[in-house]
Each structure stands twice: as structure tokens, then as C-alpha cells.
């Protein structure tokens, strides 16, 4: 018999976060989170995402053992202001037993109906900065710290239960050697002169912080037309600053401003922390922090996390300015591989940015939808 239990205690939350550690034990492609960090992100008193989101956490038990987990999410901005009657689910992990999957998703559907929502979609997080999608191709490639990994049977379970593909995302990578600095250096100089643009480079995090609010304004302007877009509040931006910006190499954050010092483009790249997180195995101490700091300094792989260009400057070659700046930083660090985070398959504007680097698609992931 399968029992679905809503978790309410700190002990249960820790069990919720630690369940994938047993599900993916000895899997060389799964990248574990830092346990305490994940627990904190689910704390309604610490994470401002809960200003515009409601979440309920569930564990599935079979024979008194945990066999699955799921978060049922309602983004209240999405349902109220955007009138998108979506019931979200995320942090979905389960053993290869479709009855367990059904029991967990039935609970999500129940909550959706209680709130008069029209359909379920997932796996997704709270907003655009969260992980998204169930992996359907690329199971033999290591994950990243900002994506979910899963077993191949996840998609099969969802499809057997009547869920249909809603959105498809691709992940690609390319060799740093594919970046032709002669081409981009020349183009960068032309673009800067033509539009009176100036690249901003940083050597310390403190000098980045005054630009972060403006960066998120540009992020919203860039991505607001996408079907997945949900606004990010000022409190969430402050949370992001404290949690992430300080841990990203300052030389991996690039801005471009116009003659009035207004931000027109940005890009954030992170060293790949995947192998370091595997070594840390969910804990910062005693050695996890060392592995992460070592990766921050010495990783030869980088992940392009966020990139945005003001719509007024799209298709004008502004990314050449950004890539010229990254080339210098990557060359100094001995970077070998560049990894792209999930991008909507139909986001053709973003695909054009990478086209010249001959990217290879190595993963695909999807969200699935079920009408209520």
C-alpha cells in the first residue's frame, strides 16, 4: 500500500531533501545539492519566493520506506495577475513504480482542483530562476547545479498517466576553441563605436552589486515575452544577490552599457561545480567547501547561466562585445568547454547567439501537462 504524507517537521524536510541521495546512489551523472542550502530554500521565512508562491511538500511511503517525493506549487502571481490557471509540481523523484508516481500526482491534481486551477504542469520550480523539466535525452552526461537529473523512466511514467509534452528545452555545449577571437574582436570594436557602447569588467563582487537591480530589470525586459515568464520581486532579487552573486567569479560577470551608462546587455557565467558537488556529497564541511572553492578557481568548464540583451539592441551584434570580454577571462583561466543551461526549443533568438560556436545538443528535457 502506498501512503502519501504531507511533511511538516524539520526532520521530515531533511528526509525529503535527502531522498534523491539514495535514489541516485553511485550514479556518476547526478549532481547532489548542498543539503542545508536546499532545506533553507524551502523555508518560507527565509526564501522570499514564498511572497508569491504557495508550496506543499509530500513524501510517498511503501512498506514504511520513502519511495518518492513531490512539491505542489501555486505561483499566485501567475494564477491571479496573469490569469494562468496552472498547478505546478517540482522536485519530483520516484522509484520505478508507476503507482507511486500516480499517487504523488493525484495529490497534486487534488490540490489543483481545490484551487479551481485548470491544468498541471511540471516538473517546474517556483519561477524562471528555478530548475525545470524532466530529462528525456542525455542521461549519460553529467548534470549541472542548476538542472535536475532523473532516471529514464520518469517521462514514461508521465506519458502512461496521460500527461502530454508541453515545452521542450535543449542543452548544448561547445569547445572554447570554437570562439574565433579575431572575428569577435573585430566585430566588437565596430559595434562599440557604432552604438557608443562600453563593456564593463569586474575584479571584485562589491563593484558588481550596484548593477544587479538594473540587470534584473533588463532580464525581465528580455524574457517577458516567453511563455514561461513570471516576474521576480525585489525581495527575490536581494535574496539572489546574497546567495549567488557573491559566489560567482567577478570576472565571469559581464555588462555592456550605452553612452548614458544604461545597461543594454549582460551575461553571467559560472565555473562548473558539478564534480565538486559530487565530491561534497551534500555537505559543506569538513571538505565540501574546499572542493567548491577549488572548482571556482580551477574548473576548466564553465556554464552560461544567464544572458540578456535589450530588445532594442538585439540582432545588432552586441553579443560580440560580451564574447570578446569572456575570451580574455577564459583564456587566463584555461577554460576548455562551455555549457549552456536549458533553453526553450522555440526560443530562436537565443539559439542565434550560439550558432557561430557550432554548439552540440547533448540533452533534452520537457515539461508535461495534464488538464484537470
Asked if pLDDT for residue 226 goes beyond 90, the answer is no
**What pTM, to 2 d.p., does this model score?**
0.93
Are 284 and 157 in a shared domain?
no
Domain final residue, candidates 126, 148, 171? 171
For residue 328, which phi and psi values (nearest 5 degrees)? -65, -45
40-55: per-residue pLDDT in tens? 999 999 999 999 999 9
267-312: per-residue pLDDT in tens? 999 999 999 999 999 999 999 999 999 999 999 999 999 899 999 9
Is 372 a member of any domain? no
Are 273 and 315 in a shared domain?
yes
Closest CA to 31 of 244, 276, 245: 276
Asked if pLDDT for residue 225 goes beyond 80, the answer is no
Domain count along the chain:
2
Closest CA to 267 of 255, 275, 250, 276: 255
Count Cβ atoms within 10 A of the Cβ of residue 22 and give its class: 0-12 exposed, 13-18 middle, 19 or more buried.
Answer: exposed
Q: Compute CA distances 83 → 44, 75, 88, 230, 320, whole Å.
A: 24, 11, 14, 12, 38
DSSP per-residue letters across 152-171:
THHHHHHHHTT-EEEEEEEE
| Cell numbers placing 13 | 524536510
Asked if pLDDT for residue 239 goes beyond 90, the answer is no
DSSP per-residue letters across 58-84:
EEEEETTEEEEEEEEEEEHHHHHTS--
Count Cβ atoms within 10 A of the Cβ of residue 204 and give its class: 0-12 exposed, 13-18 middle, 19 or more buried.
Answer: exposed
Are 186 and 96 in a shared domain?
no
Q: What percent of the chain has pLDDT over 70?
A: 99
Asked if pLDDT for residue 227 goes beyond 70, the answer is no
| Distance in angstroms (rounded) separating the CA atoms of residues 23 and 26 | 9
169-206: per-residue pLDDT in tens? 999 999 998 888 787 888 899 999 999 999 999 999 99
Whose cell is 549582460? That residue is 266
Are 296 and 230 in a shared domain?
yes
CATH number for the domain spanning 291: value is 3.40.630.30
Domain final residue, candidates 148, 171, 194? 171
- Longest Cα–Cα distance of the chain, Å, equals 69
DSSP letter (8 states) at residue 341: P
Q: Would you give the distance in Å from CA 79 to the centre of its chain?
A: 22
Is 371 a member of any domain? no
Q: What percent of the chain has pLDDT over 90?
A: 78
Domain that holds residue 246: 174-364
pLDDT of residue 222: 85
Q: What residues have CB less than 8 Å from 66, skipping those under 6 apart?
A: 15, 19, 59, 60
DSSP per-residue letters across 299-332:
-SEEEEEEEEE-GGGTTTTTHHHHHHHHHHHHHH
Are 288 and 326 in a shared domain?
yes
Please state whether beta strands 134-137 and 343-344 pair in parallel, antiparallel, or not at all (unpaired). Answer: unpaired
Are 135 and 214 in a shared domain?
no
DSSP per-residue letters across 7-50:
--SHHHHHHHHHHHHHHTTT-TT--PPPHHHHHHHT-TTT-GGG
**240-257 mean pLDDT:** 88
Asked if pLDDT for residue 159 goes beyond 80, the answer is yes
67-118: per-residue pLDDT in tens? 999 999 999 999 998 999 999 999 999 999 999 999 999 999 999 999 999 9
Is 370 a member of any domain? no
| Cell numbers placing 287 | 571538505
Asked if pLDDT for residue 224 goes beyond 80, the answer is no
Would you put residue 31 in left (φ > 0), alpha (ψ -120 to 50) or beta? beta
Asked if pLDDT for residue 126 goes beyond 90, the answer is yes
Are 147 and 185 in a shared domain?
no
Closest CA to 318 of 368, 352, 276, 278: 352
Element (H, E) at 190: helix 181-195
Amino acid at each position: 500500500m502506498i501512503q502519501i504524507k504531507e511533511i511538516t517537521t524539520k526532520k521530515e524536510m531533511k528526509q525529503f531533501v535527502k531522498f534523491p541521495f539514495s535514489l541516485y546512489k553511485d550514479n556518476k551523472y547526478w549532481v547532489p545539492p548542498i543539503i542545508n542550502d536546499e532545506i533553507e530554500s524551502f523555508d518560507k521565512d527565509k526564501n522570499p519566493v514564498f511572497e508569491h508562491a504557495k508550496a506543499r511538500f509530500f513524501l510517498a511511503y511503501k512498506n514504511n520506506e520513502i519511495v518518492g517525493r513531490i512539491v505542489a506549487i501555486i505561483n499566485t502571481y501567475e494564477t491571479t495577475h496573469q490569469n494562468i490557471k496552472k498547478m505546478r509540481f517540482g522536485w519530483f523523484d520516484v522509484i520505478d513504480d508507476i503507482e507511486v508516481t500516480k499517487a504523488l500526482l493525484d495529490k497534486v491534481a487534488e490540490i489543483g482542483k481545490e484551487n479551481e486551477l485548470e491544468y498541471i504542469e511540471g516538473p517546474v520550480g517556483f519561477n524562471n530562476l528555478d530548475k525545470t523539466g524532466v530529462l528525456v535525452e542525455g542521461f549519460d552526461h553529467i548534470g549541472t547545479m542548476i538542472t535536475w537529473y532523473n532516471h529514464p523512466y520518469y517521462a514514461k511514467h508521465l506519458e502512461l498517466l496521460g500527461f502530454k509534452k508541453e515545452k521542450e528545452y535543449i542543452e548544448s555545449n561547445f569547445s572554447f576553441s570554437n570562439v574565433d577571437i579575431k572575428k569577435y574582436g573585430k566585430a566588437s570594436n565596430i559595434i562599440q563605436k557604432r552604438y557608443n557602447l562600453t563593456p564593463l569588467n569586474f575584479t571584485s563582487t562589491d563593484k558588481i552589486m550596484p548593477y544587479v537591480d538594473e540587470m534584473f530589470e533588463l532580464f525581465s525586459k528580455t524574457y517577458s515575452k516567453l511563455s514561461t515568464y513570471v516576474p521576480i520581486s525585489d525581495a527575490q532579487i536581494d535574496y539572489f544577490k546574497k546567495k549567488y552573486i557573491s559566489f560567482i567569479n567577478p570576472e565571469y560577470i559581464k555588462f555592456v552599457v550605452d553612452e548614458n551608462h544604461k545597461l543594454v546587455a549582460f551575461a553571467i557565467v559560472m565555473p562548473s561545480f558539478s564534480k565538486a558537488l559530487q565530491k561534497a556529497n551534500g555537505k559543506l564541511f569538513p571538505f565540501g567547501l574546499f572542493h567548491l572553492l577549488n572548482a571556482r578557481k580551477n574548473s576548466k568548464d564553465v556554464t552560461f547561466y544567464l544572458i540578456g540583451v535589450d530588445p532594442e539592441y538585439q540582432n545588432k551584434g552586441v553579443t560580440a562585445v560580451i564574447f570578446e570580454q569572456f575570451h580574455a577571462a577564459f583564456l587566463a583561466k584555461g577554460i576548455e568547454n562551455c555549457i549552456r543551461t536549458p533553453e526553450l526549443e522555440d526560443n530562436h533568438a537565443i539559439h542565434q547567439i550560439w550558432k557561430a560556436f557550432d554548439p552540440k545538443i547533448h540533452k533534452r528535457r520537457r515539461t508535461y501537462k495534464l488538464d484537470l
